[in-house]
Structure 1
Amino acid sequence: MGQNLDVEVEIHDPGTAVVTIRGELDVDTATLLRHHLANQTLHGRRHLVLDLSAVGFMDSSGLNVLIRATRETRAMGGDLHLAAPVPQVAKLFDLTGLSLTTAVHEDVPAALTALGGAGTPS
């Protein structure tokens, strides 16, 4: 039962975390990512940047985790930003309409820049 997913969290500031995901985001690994993201919101991080540059495959289970996390961060007054998806995953975002509802950026620095004022304490 080898879960082929590695999740690394870097705290950018008290309200913002960069979550780097490596591997395949599918039915076997989606719950693991869900727990990591829930843990971040539990600790008050309302702004999440997901670095997807090393995610080579994603199915509907992975998409559902991203949609749910977007909903939850927005309910807290924050947001979820997706960064650097590989072409195959970016195409999935376009086909499903996720790229219309969730910000997708070229890379992590661009996502953090987009957060800009949103990441500062109010």
Structure 2
Amino acid sequence: MPERESNLDVDVEIRDARTAVLSVGGELDMETAGRLDGHLAEQLSQGRHHLVLDLSALDFMDSSGLNVLIRSLHRAREAGGDLYLAAPNSAVRRILEITGVTTTIPPHDRVAEALAAADGGR
């Protein structure tokens, strides 16, 4: 069986000293979750504790991706910040709903809404 190439893109946009938007695209699974975890940990270590994840280009997420979200949420909150989810497609939103993640991290329809929530959370 040929090796599957990992398919995850993460673009980081620094909004200010405490806020970053990470645009996540492709597939967030066991093979790629570590990459996103690393990006999120890097932002937290740089003092950006309000993290917005733009999920509009994310096609798939499994339990490994969910674990990254939950760990990052706890890390951000311990640092006095928070994690905000924005624009998940219907498949990703369904996974978030089924697993109950939406009760802890309610998704926003647009990045602008998540940024507004982050600004209000300071």
TM-score normalised per structure 2: 0.94
Q: Does 1:54 align with 2:35?
A: no
One-letter amino acid matched to 1:108: V
Q: In the alignment, does 2:8 pair up with 1:8?
A: no
Partner Cα separation in structure 2 for residue 117 and residue 62 of structure 1? 26
**2:30 is aligned with 1:30:** no
Aligned length: 119
**Alignment partner of 1:98 is 2:101:** yes
Q: Indicate the percent of aligned positions where both proteins have the same amino acid.
A: 53
Q: How many Å separate the matches in 1 of 2:60 and 2:120? A: 32
1:43 to 43, 46, 58: 46
| Structure 2: 5+ residue stretches without partners | none
Work out whether residues 23 and 55 of structure 1, in 8 Å CA contact, stay in contact via their aligned partners in 2. Answer: yes
- Gaps (5+ residues) in structure 1? none
The alignment yields a C-alpha RMSD, in angstroms, of: 0.9
User: Do 1:80 and 1:103's aligned partners in 2 also have CA atoms closer than 8 Å?
Assistant: no
Structure 1, residues 54-81: CA drift from partner, whole Å, max 9, x if none?
0000000000000000000000010000
What's the TM-score once normalised by structure 1's chain length? 0.94
2:72 counterpart letter in structure 1: A
Q: 1:118 deviation in Å? A: 2.5
SS in 2 for 1:67: helix
